[in-house]
Amino acid sequence: MKITFKLYASLTDYLPADARRGNQIPLEVAADAPIARIIEPFGMPPKLVHLVLVNGVFVSPEERASRTLAEGDTLAIWPPIAGG
């Protein structure tokens, strides 16, 4: 099934070079693939996978190993925000 995968801020470095400017790529994923398995091939350190949203709805860290997506969903990930 097809989903949209979006990475924000410093995480865009983990996207293919041609997708970094738009910060998203279409992905073909297995219907039974949980979020954790979808994220894994991109090689992001777990500590940088801070805020995970599916269609704008927060997915807790505990849910990521079992939560699956549906055709057309958007999976978006932000790193921790630092500031002062």
- In percent, how much of the chain has pLDDT > 70? 98
Asked whether residue 12 carries a pLDDT value surpassing 80, the answer given is: yes
Superfamily name with CATH number, domain 2-78: Beta-grasp domain (3.10.20.30)
Q: For strands 51-54 and 57-58, give the pairing.
A: antiparallel
- pLDDT at residue number 83: 67
Distance CA 78, CA 17 (A): 18
Q: Per-residue pLDDT averaged across 56-78, rounded?
A: 98
Q: Per-residue pLDDT averaged across 54-60, rounded?
A: 98
Domain borders along the chain are 2-78
pTM over 0.85: yes
Extended beta strands in 1-84, E state: 2-7, 24-28, 51-54, 57-58, 74-78
Torsion 59-64-66-67 (CA) sign: positive
- In percent, how much of the chain has pLDDT > 90? 90
